[in-house]
Each structure stands twice: as structure tokens, then as C-alpha cells.
């Protein structure tokens, strides 16, 4: 699979730019579960922004993104890691949402992003989404929670589906950042429509590529990985399933893949839980 995310450094070395094309990953994402056109547009926006965030991660880092929109059950959960995995799942209520997206924002709506590494701990920031717009929400989060002026732009109507992020580096001069923003916006139409292998040339007058990354939706879940979820099931429920000679199905919260745990699996889980409880 060829790289579909490009990390740039501005020629004056004062800002990083990230450009991603998520046309292909979206086709294998969980957007297929989303039922309404309005919700699919929101999914594309959120997924594209999450892909851009991957450009900020090192190999061992990961982050979780949670939108809690106004209205009961309007929740979006996404996971991104430094290896290029980007996953996004909508709650049932969000999958069927067909109102005005503006209704989702306002008092009580929040965006939380947890970032860290397996060894360095996790840190969570949360902002209230008082103004509508997915791109605006991500920009607002970094401005408020991370104290970083970060700008997100996505183009998600039709193919290709792309996004661009601009983040000034520490001590960047304000004039340089404004000039860079103006130059990128002038090239927005070309960034959106150019052949992917031409995007580097489009931005070459103002920035150079420093890294190429593959972002995708291929999940690394397995029956063994989800074993921890089975062990979280109450002992009484496991014993009941054994008595009824039924299996238990577990679903990966990221990719939606389902795994069936049969009688042998349940017997092992019951035995382990009994030992852990001293029974």
C-alpha cells in the first residue's frame, strides 16, 4: 500500500503541514454501518481529521477521540496510533442521525482527546463545543486544550476525500504563519483535485516532505486480543452460558469484527475467574 499521508516542514522551518488522502481507507472503515447521508458526511469529516492527527504521533504513541454531542446517545469514538491505524465508530443514534448537524453542538457537547504512549502514560483534554463544525472543533481543541494554534481543513464531498492540517512550531513568527496559511488556502483547490502524486509538487514552493506514512483501517484485533473482554463478563453469566451450552460473542469496538467463544473457551474463562476469586 502506498503512502497516503504526507508530513511537510515549511521552507522557513516555522510550521508543520500534514496532508492526507483517506479515500481508500474510508471504503474499509465502519462508515458502512452509517445509515443516513447526514451522518455519513459527519463520519467522513471526523475520520479525515483523525487521520491528520496521526501525522502528529510517533511510532509508540496513540490517541483516542471522543465526541459527545448534544442529545442522548450521540457519541463518536475513534482510535489512532503511530503505526497508521485509524478507526472510527458511531453509536447507534449517530448512525441514524438525519437532523441539522448544528443541533449536535452547543452547551453540553464536548470533544475529548486522550494522547500518550504505552509506557509514558495517557493525558486527556476536553473542550466544550459551543460552535458548530467538525474542522472547527478540532482546531478549537488544540487552541484551548493544547495551547497550540492548529488549523484543520477537510474536503469530504465526493472523491477524493482529503484533509490538511497546519501547526506552527514553537516560537514561529505570527507573520510567517499568516503568510503560510494564505498560501495554502490559495492552493486549496489544487490540493483537493490534483493527482495524489502531484500534491508534493503543489506545496513545493512553500514546504518540503519530511515523511510519508500509510494510514489505514486494518484492525489488529484477534480472538486472543479480545479475550480480556470475555474475562470481564460476570462469572455468573459465564456459568449460565455453560449451563445452557451456548456461546458468547464479542465484538471489536473498532472494526466491528465479531468473535465467538465456544464451550471450551467458556470453561477456561470460568476456571480462571474462579481461581482469581479464590473459589
242 Cα distance to chain centroid: 37
- Tell me the per-residue pLDDT of 197-231, one tens digit each, with 9 for 90 and over: 999 999 999 999 999 999 998 777 777 767 777 77
The answer to whether 7 touches 201, Cβ cutoff 8 Å, is no
Q: Is the pTM of this model over 0.85?
A: no
Residues pairing with 112 in the sheet: 66, 126
Split at pLDDT 50, 70, 90, the class of 141 is very high
Could you give the CA distance from residue 36 to residue 96 in angstroms, rounded to a whole number?
6
Give per-residue burial for 203-236: e unless 16+ CB within 10 Å, then b. Answer: beebbebeeebebbbebebeeeebbeebeebebe
pLDDT digits (tens, 9 = 90+) for 1-28: 689 999 999 999 999 999 999 999 999 8
SS3 content of the chain, % helix, strand, coil (to 5): 35, 30, 35
For the chain, which domains are there?
5-213 (3.55.30.10), 227-276 (3.90.1280.10)
pLDDT of 246 reads 76
Q: Count the neighbouring beta carbons within 10 Å of the beta carbon of residue 254.
A: 20
Render pLDDT for 143-195 as a digit per residue (tens, 0 to 9): 998 888 899 999 999 899 999 999 999 888 888 888 999 999 999 999 999 99
What pLDDT shows up at residue 24?
A: 94
- Predicted local distance difference test score (pLDDT) of residue 245: 74
Q: What is the mean pLDDT of residues 120-125?
A: 79
**Integer Cα distance of 196 and 191 in angstroms:** 9
Supply the pLDDT for residue 238.
80
Sheet holding 86-90, edge to edge: 86-90, 75-81, 61-68, 110-117, 121-128
Question: Above pLDDT 70, what percent of the chain?
Answer: 96
For 258, residues 6+ apart whose C-beta sits below 8 A from its C-beta are: 249, 250, 251, 252
Amino acid at each position: 500500500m502506498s503512502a497516503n499521508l504526507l508530513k511537510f516542514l515549511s521552507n522557513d522551518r516555522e510550521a508543520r503541514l500534514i496532508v492526507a488522502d483517506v479515500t481508500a481507507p474510508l471504503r474499509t472503515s465502519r462508515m458502512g454501518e452509517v445509515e443516513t447521508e447526514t451522518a455519513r458526511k459527519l463520519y467522513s469529516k471526523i475520520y479525515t481529521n483523525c487521520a491528520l492527527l496521526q501525522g502528529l504521533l510517533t511510532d509508540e504513541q496513540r490517541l483516542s477521540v471522543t465526541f459527545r454531542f448534544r442529545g442522548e446517545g450521540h457519541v463518536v469514538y475513534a482510535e489512532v496510533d503511530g503505526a497508521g491505524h485509524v478507526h472510527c465508530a458511531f453509536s447507534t443514534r449517530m448512525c441514524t442521525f438525519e437532523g441539522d448537524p448544528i443541533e449536535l453542538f452547543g452547551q453540553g457537547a464536548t470533544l475529548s482527546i486522550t494522547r500518550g504512549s504505552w509506557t509514558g502514560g495517557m493525558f486527556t483534554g476536553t473542550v466544550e463545543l459551543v460552535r458548530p463544525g467538525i474542522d472547527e472543533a478540532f482546531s478549537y481543541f488544540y487552541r484551548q486544550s493544547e495551547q497550540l494554534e492548529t488549523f484543520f481543513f477537510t474536503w469530504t464531498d465526493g472523491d477524493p476525500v482529503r484533509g490538511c492540517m497546519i501547526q506552527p512550531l514553537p516560537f514561529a513568527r505570527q507573520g510567517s504563519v499568516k503568510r503560510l496559511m494564505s498560501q495554502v488556502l490559495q492552493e486549496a483547490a489544487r490540493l483537493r483535485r490534483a493527482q495524489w502524486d502531484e500534491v508534493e509538487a503543489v506545496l513545493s514552493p512553500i514546504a518540503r516532505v519530511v515523511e510519508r506514512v500509510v494510514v489505514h483501517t486494518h484492525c489488529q484485533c484477534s480472538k486472543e486480543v479480545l479475550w480480556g473482554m470475555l474475562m470481564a463478563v460476570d462469572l455468573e453469566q459465564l456459568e449460565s452460558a455453560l449451563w445452557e451450552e451456548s456461546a458468547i460473542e464479542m465484538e471489536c469496538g473498532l472494526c466491528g469484527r465479531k468473535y465467538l467463544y465456544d464451550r471450551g473457551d467458556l470453561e477456561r474463562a470460568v476456571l480462571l475467574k474462579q481461581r482469581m476469586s479464590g473459589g
